[in-house]
Structure 1
Amino acid sequence: MSAPYILVLYYSRHGATSEMARHIARGIELSGLEARLRTVPAVSTDCEAVVPDIPASGAPYATLDDLRHCAGLVLGSPTRFGNMAAPLKYFLDGTSSLWLGGELVGKPAAVFTSTASLHGGQETTLLSMLLPLMHHGMLVLGLPYSESALLDTRGGGTPYGASHHAGADGKRQLDEHETALCRALGQRVGATAKALEASRG
């Protein structure tokens, strides 16, 4: 059996969400677990998009097996009208076989997002991503206020998950507080997954 890993599954249009994913992965690795970065392909509003098997750059596309075998999940998306982006929702809509088998029940999960404006729906987007995870029976983790960056942040950061104010052009870099909260979230999911694995062992 392979070593346990945390799946960091995200969709990123302009790069801000993928940057967050990398900081979350570093936090997971600080907990002593492997972080597995995966993305999902874009979808089209006009027609069924023909998607290559391998993205041109960045993380590989996720499969159901990536999700099935993970010890925990951190899910990320930019906000779209206060909701997760359609490509991520499309992927999650295809996970009913995992739901029927209860394959994600009891695994820790958390969420993260980036927005163009400071009050552009960060919290509602995070909550929209939590809903399918709760239907899957996952154990939802947020960020406690013992994380000092949550009190000091002037950009992103919520108790529901990590967030980032990317700016209208999507080019604003993560600040020190947003980065710290991404790493803290990854470390929290990793540590929880390790504890759960040990209790089953």
Structure 2
Amino acid sequence: MVNILIIYYSTNGSTKKMARLIARGVEMVEGVTSVIRTVNNKNDDDGSDVVVEKSELKQCSGLIIGSPTHFGNMASPLKEFIDTTTAEWFNGDLTGKPAGVFTSTSSLHGGQETTLLSMMLPLLHHGMLIAGVPYSEKHLVNTKTGGTPYGPSHVSFNSDKEISDDEKEICISFGKRIATLARKLNS
């Protein structure tokens, strides 16, 4: 079975909602399942998501990570988790697996792209194959809200704004893209 591990940290719930939308896209690909995990569930209102175990990194067929933007960078709880994956790095547990990143920010120029790039760097060190959102995704071309070729993004404007239809479709498409790549690599 091919499975995509989606790891996120969410401050106000937007990143968690994006993780769910991405998982929906993953599940649309035949023979692929999604596993949603958080790095810290203290902000998880309903306690619905389990905290990730490092052993799940080795077991996954692909990895997607998401974080709110904090000063143009990923949030510290996600960075703290990534910093504990040295053994997995030495063992090559993630080498050759597809990966992607997503973010939510409270302002239009809050650092979405730098956050996405900052999350890609450790994945590259792990030997992962990074995939973004291609311009063939029509919602990326048409969006007036979030979305970048580096990965899905959402602009929440201080948590006042729901995820837009374009942002939702970009998340779903992205999940399908990573799942399709993982399935092809595992066939």
TM norm structure 2? 0.96
Specify the structure having the higher radius of gyration (Cα).
1
Distance 2:33 2:171 in 1: 16
Find the partner of 1:78 among 68, 71, 85: 68
Distance 1:72 1:102 in 2: 13
Distance 2:131 2:29 in 1: 15
* Aligned residue number for residue 48 of structure 1: none
Deviation at 1:11, TM superposition (A): 0.1
Deviation string, structure 1 residues 116-141 (Cα, Å, up to 9, x no partner): 00110000000000000000000000
Letter of the 1:39 partner, please give it. Answer: T
Whether 1:191 and 2:156 are equivalent positions in the alignment is no
Backbone CA RMSD of aligned residues? 1.5
Letter of the 1:128 partner, please give it. Answer: S
* Aligned residue number for residue 15 of structure 1: 13
Deviation at 1:172, TM superposition (A): 1.1
Find the partner of 1:176 among 148, 165, 168: 165
Deviation at 1:56, TM superposition (A): 6.1
* Aligned residue number for residue 38 of structure 2: 39
Q: Which range moves more in the overlay, 129-138 or 54-63?
A: 54-63
Provide structure 2 residue ranges, at least 5 long, that are not aligned to the other structure. Answer: none
Number of aligned residues: 185
Provide structure 1 residue ranges, at least 5 long, that are not aligned to the other structure. Answer: 43-50
SS in 2 for 1:8: strand
Identical pairs, percent: 49
Letter of the 1:117 partner, please give it. Answer: S
Q: Following superposition, which runs of at least 4 residues in structure 1 exceed 2 angstroms of deviation?
A: none
SS in 2 for 1:131: helix
Distance 1:118 1:166 in 2: 9
Deviation at 1:4, TM superposition (A): 2.2
Distance 2:46 2:91 in 1: 33
- Note if contact 1:16-1:171 (Cα within 8 Å) is conserved in structure 2: no
Distance verdict in 2 for CA 1:55–1:38, change over 3 Å: farther
SS in 1 for 2:66: strand
SS in 1 for 2:50: coil
In the TM superposition, what are the counterparts of 1:1-201 in structure 2 within 5 Å? 3-32=1-30, 33-41=32-40, 57-168=47-158, 170-198=159-187
SS in 1 for 2:22: helix
